Structure 1
Amino acid sequence: MRGEELEHLRARGFALAPRLHRPNFISGYVSLYVADQPVYLSADVIFNALHESFDTLVADIEQHALASSLSEGLSGLHRALAGPSGAALPGETRVDLDTYLSTARGLLEATPVEPVAGADAAAVRALVAAATAGTGNARIDLFGSPRDVDLSQMRPRGHYAGDPARERYFRAVMFLGREGLRLVDVVEGRRVLRRRQLSAALALRALSDTATRAAFTRVEQAIGAFAGEPEALTYSDLDALASAVAREPASASDERLLLLIDAQRGERPRVATSLLVHPDGFDGTVPQPVTFSFAPQRYTPDSMVLSRVSFDRVDAGRVPRMMPDPLDAAFAALGNDQAAALLRPSLDRHDYATELVTARELVDAHEASYWQGSLYASWTAALRTLSPRETLSEESTLPAAMTTEAWGRRLLNTQMAAWAEVRHDMVLYAAQSYSMSLGCSYPQAYVDPYPAVWSALGRWTERAQSLVGSVPWRDEPARARWTRWSAGAREAVRRLGEIAERERAGGEPTEAQLAWVNQALNAREVNVVCATELRVDGGWLYDLYEPRMQLGTDRAIVADVHTQPDDEEGNPVGRVLHIGTAAPQAMVVVAGAPGRERAYVGFASSYRERVTENFDRLTDQRWRQEIARAAAPAWMTPGR
C-alpha cells in the first residue's frame, strides 16, 4: 500500500485499495496465498461464492425441471381448450385464452405455436415478435382491454442472456409474471372490475386437469423457494375465489365481486410494478391491478421499499420523487441506520422521511417465518445482520477499526454488493418497482467477526440443501452435483462461524482451524512454454463456486431494480436504475486480540450504480464493457 492508502490504514485501522483489484475473488485470494500473506476472509467473498453458485443452481433447476413443467402445463391447457371442454366455453373466452396461451407458448417453445381455438394468428405472431424484440413500451390489447406494457422487461438479462433456451424461458415467464389476467384493472386512477378476464381465469381453472395442475404446482413451489411470496393470485387463490363466486347470483354487482377478489388477494400487490398513469387532478395514490398468473412475480422487501418512496406514493402523490436511491433499500429493507445519514440530502429535497420510516417498520414487522420462507428472504436476513444495530451490539468485543463510521461504510458496501448479486440472480422473479408515469499458505487468518451473519448464511445453505432435495430433477448428475455442493457450502459456513465466535471471545483460530483455512485454495505454479502461471484445482473456497471460477474471468454483474417511465414534467424518459459490482478490491485490516493485533489482507466487493434512459436494460456483458460508466457511490469515497 502507498500514500493515501497508508494514511487511511494508520488513521482508521483499515484501508480499501481499489488500485489493487483482481478480476474476481478467487484470483485475489490466490495472490495472497502464494505471497504467504496473513489472510482476512471477508463476508464479501462468501456472499460472492454463494451468489455465483445460486445463479447456476437456479439455471440448472430451470433447465432440468421448470422449463419442461411450464411447457407441460401450458400445452395441457391449450389441448383442453381445443377439446370438448374448451368448445363448451363462450366464444369470446375461447379466443381470449387461445391468444394468451399461444403467445406464452410461442415465447417458450423453439418452434412456432399456432392458435387452436379461433385466435388471430397474425396478432399472436405480432405479440411474440414484440416481446422477443424487447424494446421500449407499447399499448397492446389483451382480453379486450388495452394495457401499457414495458416490453424492455422481456429482454433477457443475467444468466439467461446468450443462451437460446434460457432466453425463451425468460421471455415466457416474464410475460406470464408481468402480464397476467387482470381481474381488477385501473382506469383514470380508479379500480375497475374486468369481468371478461375474471371469466377467463375461472375458465382456465376449469380446463386444468390433474396433470396440468401438478405441472404448475411444481413451477410455483420452485419459484416460491427461490424468491418467496407471489404478488398475484395463484391457482390455490383461484380455487377459493371460484367457490366464492359460485355462491353469488349471476346478477352480482361489480362492487360485490370486487369485495370477493379483495378478500382473496389480501395485501397483494405490495409492489407497484405496472405502467400506470397518475391522472391530472387525481388526489392520492393510484391503486395497482389485481392479477392471476401462472408464474407470479415475487414480493421482496427491497422492491416494496423502493416502490413506497417513489411517485406517487410520497405524500399521496404530491411529491414528484421519480427515482429512488438504493440507500432507501439499505435503510428500510436491510436495516442499516447509517444509510439514513447518507440519505439526508435526498430526504431534505423530497421530504419522504415518513414513507421511508413506515417502509422500515413494515419490513421489521415481518415474522421470523418470512425470513426463512425463501432463499431470497434468507439472503436478505443475512445481510440485515451486517447492519450497525447488529454488528455493534457487542462493540467491546470488536477490534477498534470495526467500531468506526468508516468501517460501517465498508459493511454497507458489502451489503449493497450482495444485494445486487441476489437481485441479479432473481431478475426474472423479483417484482421490480415502478414510479408512476407521468501450494502456499496463509500464515495467519482472520474471519469477518460477525457470528450472526455466518449463522444466517448457515440457514440459507440449509434452505438451499432442502431445495436441492425437493426438486424433481430430470438429470441425475445435476442432482448429485448440487447435493455435494450444498453439503459442502453448509459445512464451510459452519466452520467460518466457529472461527468468528473465537475471535469475538478474544481468541485466534486454533491450529486445526488455521489448517482448514489453508485448504481454501489448492494453488500451484505450472510451467507453460517459457512462462510460469498459477492454477487452482481444488480447495473448499474454490469448491464454493459452481461452476469453478477461472482466475482471469471478469465476474462483475448487474441488476435493474427500478423503472421511472416519465420525468417530473410528464416527459417520457424510460430511466432504469441499475445496481451491480465491479472487480473486487484489496483490503488491509488491523485486527486481533488486544496486544496481538496484526495487519491482515483480504478482498472486498466493489459496489456500483448506473441509471440508463430509453428503457435500456443492461446485460452483464454490456455492464462489464461499460464499467467505467458505472459510478461508485459518493458515500464510499471517504472510506478508502
Structure 2
Amino acid sequence: QTPAPTAAPATPTTAGPLPTPPPGVYPPAFSEYPVVQVNLPAAFAGGDYTLPVDLNAVQGMDTVELTPQAQALLSQNGFVVLPPNPGEFREFYQIYEAHRYEQDNIFVTTDSIYHVYHLLFDKMLRDLERDYFIADLGSLTSAMLSASYQQYQSLRGTSLEEPALRNVAFFAVAAQLLGLPDAAPGEAAELVNAELGLINAAGGAQISPIWDRPDLAPDDKLIEDYSQYKPRGHYTRSEELKKYFRAMMWYGRLTFRLNDA
C-alpha cells in the first residue's frame, strides 16, 4: 500500500509582525526640509529703489573699490558681477567669510551650494578610486589580457587568429597604461606601441591602429580623439590617478561595432 503523501506546510497568508530594531540602531533623520511655497513675480516690481540707482545713497559704497565701468554697471542694473583679485580667493566660502567679518550684506548664490556638493562627490570618488577601483581595474586587466592571449594561442592558424591578436593588443594597451608588470606579448607589440604613442602624444583625431585593417573602407575605420587622454581634474593629483584616468578613457571610449556580414 502506497503511503499517503505528506502535506506541504501551509503558506501563511499574512505576514507576521515586523521585528522591532533595538534602540539606537537607526539614528534620527539628519534634518527635515519643509517645502516653502514661493510665488516669484514675472518681473521685478521695483522695491525701494528704481533704476538707475543713485550710488551716493547706497550704504557701504565707501567700503568697496570699483572701477568707473563697474560703478556704471551697478548703477544701471542694480548689480555688477566681478571676478575676485587673482590669488585672493580659491573657494566661495572664503568670499563670504571675509565679508561676514566686515558685517557686509551678503548675497549667497545657489551655485556656491552646488559647488560644495561637487567637492564632496569629487572627494568620495577620488577616495574610492585610490582605495579600490585602481586595484580592481588592474586585476581585471591582467585577467583579461591573460585570457585573451590564451584564446589567441588556441586560434592560431584559423581565420580568427588576426582578430584574436587585436583583442590581445586591446587589453595589453590598458595594462601598459596602468603600469602593470604584464608585458605586451611580442606578437601584439607593434599594435600596442602604435596606440601608446598616439595616447601619450594626445595630439587629436587619428585612426586607431588596432581598428585599422586594410579590408575596411575608410568610413568603417575607427577614428579616436587622442586628445581626450590628457588627465584633468583631480586625476592630475598623482601618477596613479593619471594612469587610471588614461586606462579608463581607453576602456570607455573605444567602440566595438558589429555588423551582419
TM over 0.5: yes
- Report deviation, 1:29: 1.5
Match of 1:98 in 2: 168
For 1:102, the aligned partner's letter is A
Consecutive unaligned residues in structure 1, runs of 5 or more = 184-192, 194-252, 255-640
Q: Residue 81 of structure 2 aligns to which amino acid in structure 1? A: L
- CA separation in 2, counterparts of 1:32 and 1:123? 59
Residue deviations 1:36-73, cap 9 Å, x none? Answer: 22332211211222222322222222222222222222
Residue aligning to 1:133 = 201
2: CA distance, partners of 1:97 / 1:170: 21
Deviations 1:334-356 (Å, cap 9, x if unpaired)? xxxxxxxxxxxxxxxxxxxxxxx
Say if 1:148 and 1:10 are closer, same or farther in 2 by CA, change over 3 A: closer
Instruction: Say if 2:247 is the partner of 1:167.
Output: no
Q: Distance in 2 between matches of 1:149 and 1:167?
A: 19
The CA distance in 1 between the partners of 2:113 and 2:232, in whole Å, is: 23
1:31 aligns with 2:101: no
Matched, 1:181 2:256: yes
CA distance change for structure 1 residues 79 and 31 in 2, over 3 Å: closer, same or farther? same
Please tell me whether the aligned partners of residues 152 and 165 of structure 2 are also in contact (alpha carbons under 8 angstroms): no
Q: Are 1:147 and 2:222 an aligned pair?
A: yes
- Residues 329-408 of structure 1: pairs in structure 2 closer than 5 A: none
How many Å apart are 1:114 and its aligned residue? 2.0
* RMSD of Structure 2 on Structure 1 (CA): 2.8
Change (3 A) 1:101 1:136: same
Are the counterparts in 1 of residues 231 and 246 from structure 2 also a CA contact under 8 Å?
Answer: yes
Matching residue of 2:183: 113
Q: Distance in 1 between matches of 2:85 and 2:249?
A: 39
**Which residue identity does 1:173 align to in structure 2?**
M
How many pairs were matched up? 183
Change (3 A) 1:6 1:164: same
Q: Is the 8 A contact 1:99 1:120 kept in 2?
A: yes
Of structures 1 and 2, the one with the larger relative CO (CA 8 A, separation 6+) is 1
Instruction: Extract unaligned runs of 5+ from structure 2.
Output: 1-60, 214-220
Contact 2:211 2:222 in 1 (8 A): no
Identical pairs, percent: 25
Q: Which residue of 2 aligns with 1:71?
A: 138
- Partner Cα separation in structure 1 for residue 140 and residue 83 of structure 2: 49
| 1:61 alignment partner in structure 2 | 128
Give the letter aligned to residue 80 of structure 1: A
Task: Name 2:113's counterpart in structure 1.
Answer: 46
Give yes or no for the alignment of 1:15 onto 2:86.
no
| Cα 1:182/1:34, change in 2 over 3 Å | same
Query: For residues 532-571 of structure 1, what are the structure 2 equivalents within 5 Å?
Result: none
Letter in 1 for 2:168: D
Structure-2-length-normalised TM-score: 0.60
Aligned to 1:156: 231
**TM-superposition CA deviations, 1:74-115 (whole Å, max 9, x none):** 2112222344x5544432232121111111211122546322
Answer with 1 or 2: which has the greater Rg: 2
1:110 and 1:165 in contact (8 A); partners too:
no
In the TM superposition, what whole-angstrom CA distance separates every residue of 1:527-552 from its partner, at most 9, and x where no partner exists?
Answer: xxxxxxxxxxxxxxxxxxxxxxxxxx
Q: Distance in 2 between matches of 1:110 and 1:75?
A: 8
Relative to the length of structure 1, the TM-score reads: 0.26
Contact 1:78 1:98 in 2 (8 A): yes
Cα deviation per residue 1:439-475 (whole Å; 9 max; x = unaligned)? xxxxxxxxxxxxxxxxxxxxxxxxxxxxxxxxxxxxx
Match of 1:149, SS state, is strand
**Residue 143 to residue 133, structure 1, CA distance change in 2 (3 Å):** closer
Q: Secondary structure at the match of 2:209?
A: strand
Specify the alignment match of 1:377 in structure 2: none
More strand by share: 1
Does the CA-based 8 Å contact 1:103-1:124 persist in structure 2? yes
